[in-house]
Chains A and B, each alone.
Chain A
Amino acid sequence: MARIIVVTSGKGGVGKTTTSAAIAMGLAKKGHKTAVIDFDVGLRNLDLIMGCERRVVYDFINVINGEASLNQALIRDKNCNLLYILPASQTRDKDALTLEGVGKVLDELSKDFKYVVCDSPAGIEKGANLALYYADDAFVVTNPEISSVRDSDRMLGILASKSRRAESNAEPIKEYLLLTRYDPNRVKSGEMLGLEDVQDILSLQLLGIIPESKSVLTASNAGVPVILDEKSEAGQAYEDVVARYLGENRPHRFLDDKKGFFRKLFGGRS
């Protein structure tokens, strides 16, 4: 029985797909058979971030419509043989997703996989609702700015009321916060919300802070999940996230700018 994780945010551009790719890879690297599904039908991106765009033959919608089997559509990752990608269809729209169809695919994946990561599209429409409907855990990806926090709050309301767990009065979805694109310097100067400001509104279990890092863009362009870049802060932060999710107790890093001392020394901005 797989654990179904939805990576969601409400707002676009906060790092859902980057996070989905990173944590799916992280879970697989830890030895858990993991599938990651792109729910952003019509705006397919996950395959690019995972670097498997040239190997897409069948997609999620083909499987839902019975035009391909799950095994035909799943793409095995080139870096880790425990990780599989189910790409979205680029030529269709979200209406091609159905509650029953998604449920069937997740059921089938559940038999064989330990974790299923659902990369939600932005918004609170059908695609996002279906991505979270069957979830057991939710990774709420939030940027330290007020509109992203508000949208995440809205998403949490939907998680609490429109999921299968909510509708069947089961134990609620476990919600975790992932604060992405965090820049301690801009927090210090008041340009960006700090962790406390965000937690004041969301009050969620914090799974990790991902610092703003050039390596994220570099990794995306290269089609390699950033978690594989072990030298980068973002990669290490995602590694922490996966470890914490699996129950490890790790102190939070990247809240302060460790370069501060050197910057002061060499006259950089403080």
Chain B
Amino acid sequence: MSNTSSVLEFKSSTFFTPILILFNNDIAAIEQSLQEKISLAPDFFKNSPLIIDVRELNKSDLDISINEVTDMLRKIGLFPIGVRGGNERQNKQAQKLSIPVDTGRDNEISHAAHGKNPQKESAVHASESTSVTRDGDDEVTVTAAPKAPELSDSAIQTVPVRSMLITQPVRSGQRIYAHGDLVVMSQVSAGAEIMAEGNIHVYNSLRGRALAGVQGNTSARIFCLDLQAELVSIAGDYKTSEHIAKQMQKKPAQVYLQDHTLIIKEIA
């Protein structure tokens, strides 16, 4: 895989990093408590990267200096690589120390200290996966924008779901799954499969299979500019192309459920 003739290469990867959630702003107490934990598993913590989470502190109005925490952590052999839940001053402190700040989200993630030492050369975004596809066949991997990351599994109920945008053609054999709405700007080929927990919009020809509301959302709809689908489905109710009226074929159309009946209607 390595390309000896090029100088570098960017890759995105996901890995686990311990997150240090602080409940007390007493540096000495934190240090003591950390030392105890480290003595239980010195190899695991040795030179380990760490993300400092001060959200709980800020919730209870307990102030802490990122400079002091960082000094203390570095002294005992840990490498802080991120701060989250910080207030403005703390974020500025972190940035001065060249420590990235995560301001993106508020949902609770408690992946804490399990997993092995992460690869040190990798990126900083830890713990949360932004992948929307499974391994396996050649599915499109969509990396969420940095400011609007996809949700981790544990947070699906608590945080509003964002939509996914696909600008490349969805080719035969590809599968795409969106946790929210799915917007496809290009064509969806016969033999492709697009699925969304919310609505599906296809601003081009829809020739493959489109399944909206796959987790049971009966108010989900499918919209497309050119209906030639092999199959359309809303919350499990489906029609194959054989049962899609001829006069609807190759028209801009929407598909929705009304009284448990799948309606396919031209968008006039």
Contact of B10 among A111, A169, A201, A203 (CB under 8 A): A169
Scan B158-177; emit 1 where CB is below 8 A from any A CB, else 0: 00000000001111111000
Given A158-B138, A168-B9, A169-B12, check contact A107 B1 (CB 8 Å): no
Given A103-B1, A103-B2, A110-B5, check contact A160 B168 (CB 8 Å): yes
Chain A residues with CB below 8 A from B187, complex form: 201, 203
Cβ distance B262 to chain A, nearest Cβ, rounded Å: 26
Q: Are A161 and B1 closer than 8 Å at their CB atoms?
A: no
Within A119-176, which residues are at the interface with B (CB < 8 Å)? 150, 153-154, 156-158, 160-162, 164, 167-170, 172
Chain A residues with CB below 8 A from B4, complex form: 107
Q: Are B10 and A157 closer than 8 Å at their CB atoms?
A: no
Contact of A154 among B5, B9, B141, B173 (CB under 8 A): B173
Answer yes or no: A99 CB below 8 A from chain B CBs. Answer: yes
Chain B contact residues, majority secondary structure: loop
Answer yes or no: A248 CB below 8 A from chain B CBs. Answer: no
Given A111-B5, A154-B191, check contact A161 B174 (CB 8 Å): yes
Cβ distance B46 to chain A, nearest Cβ, rounded Å: 31
Q: Are B11 and A154 closer than 8 Å at their CB atoms?
A: no
Answer yes or no: A95 CB below 8 A from chain B CBs. Answer: no
Q: Are A162 and B1 closer than 8 Å at their CB atoms?
A: no
Q: Are A168 and B2 closer than 8 Å at their CB atoms?
A: no
Cα of A95 to Cα of B172 in the assembled complex, Å: 26
Answer yes or no: A105 CB below 8 A from chain B CBs. Answer: no
Chain A residues with CB below 8 A from B207, complex form: 201
Query: Considering only CB atoms, which chain B residue lies closest to A106 in the complex?
Result: B3
Cβ distance B58 to chain A, nearest Cβ, rounded Å: 35
Answer yes or no: B192 CB below 8 A from chain A CBs. Answer: yes
Cβ distance A131 to chain B, nearest Cβ, rounded Å: 15
Q: Are B1 and A157 closer than 8 Å at their CB atoms?
A: no
Q: Are A169 and B168 closer than 8 Å at their CB atoms?
A: no
Q: Are B171 and A153 closer than 8 Å at their CB atoms?
A: yes
Sampled A-B contacts (24; CB under 8 Å):
A99-B1, A100-B1, A103-B1, A103-B3, A107-B3, A110-B5, A150-B172, A153-B171, A153-B190, A156-B169, A157-B138, A157-B173, A157-B189, A158-B173, A160-B174, A161-B138, A161-B140, A168-B9, A169-B10, A169-B143, A201-B187, A201-B189, A203-B169, A203-B187
User: A residues engaging B (CB < 8 A)?
Assistant: 1, 99-100, 103, 107, 110-111, 150, 153-154, 156-158, 160-162, 164, 167-170, 172, 200-201, 203
